[in-house]
Amino acid sequence: MSIPTQSDLPDIPCVILAGGKSRRFGSNKAFATLRGTRLIDVLIERIERQTSGPISINAIAESGFEKMGRKILPDRLPGSFGPLAGIHAAMHWAGKGGYSSVITTPVDTPILPARFVEKLVATGAPATAIFNDRVHAVHGIWPTSLEDVLAEAVTDGMRAARDWTAECEASLCEFRAEDGLDPFFNINTLEDMQMLENAQPVSPR
């Protein structure tokens, strides 16, 4: 089987949401190492294999990510509004770059599906991931034209990503287990990290 080249991949921007405070983890989990590689680097490598578009990081300024040579996208909405603010920042950045849609994924899901980008692009924006009947609302593809709609929804009190998927009538993009594992397994604690350490290598296939 031939290996896709960059020119064969979808040209779509992807944003890694890394603005969380990692309170349960005890430190910035994006820089924690899994099998010797930082979570942020694991995820970037997986996404680079799936898109020819730019990859940026949604995080506060001067949080350590600026040394990675990637565009850092601070939240644009005033206040602390969690992942919805990150999705909004992603929409704004991608729209300014001339893209009609953008993909988002949080930094704490290092075994992201190998066809994550491809399947979301094929489903079309807006769409969000679903696995085993569980919606993973932050993992999605969003029309950049909805930037103002999302900003208004957040200003009016929306906080849950699941509510946003309902508001924008996002389609569901179904994924299956990879190597017997939940491809959206997310790391919240050191115990989660150890569990994944013992499960399988996370290097991209």
pLDDT at 63: 77
- Residue in 201, 182, 192 with CA at minimum distance from that of residue 26: 192
Q: Is pLDDT larger for residue 187 or for residue 204?
A: 187
State mean pLDDT over 130-141: 97
Q: Is pLDDT larger for residue 151 or for residue 1?
A: 151
Q: Is pLDDT larger for residue 116 or for residue 197?
A: 116
Q: CA angle, 119 as apex, 198 and 17 as ends, to 5°?
A: 60
pLDDT tops 50 at residue 205: no
Cβ–Cβ contacts within 10 Å for residue 88, how many?
26
Q: How far is CA 96 from the centre of its chain?
A: 19
- Helices assigned H by DSSP within 21-144: 39-48, 83-96, 116-123
State mean pLDDT over 46-61: 96
CATH tag, 9-197: 3.90.550.10
- Residue 123, C-beta contacts closer than 8 angstroms, at least 6 positions apart: 141, 171, 173
Give the C-alpha distances (Å, rounded to integers) separating 189 from 63, 186, 193.
20, 9, 7
Measured in degrees and rounded to the nearest 5, phi and psi for residue 113 equal: -55, 145
Question: Do residues 186 and 20 touch, judged by C-beta distance below 8 A?
Answer: no
pLDDT at 80: 86
Q: What is the pLDDT of residues 95-134, one digit of tens each?
A: 999 999 999 999 999 999 999 999 999 999 999 999 999 9
The C-alpha atoms of residue 120 and residue 168 are separated, in whole angstroms, by: 16
pLDDT tops 60 at residue 204: no
| Confidence category of residue 26, pLDDT binned at 50, 70, 90 | low
pLDDT at 2: 46
DSSP class of 2 = P
State mean pLDDT over 76-86: 92
DSSP SS3 for 14: strand
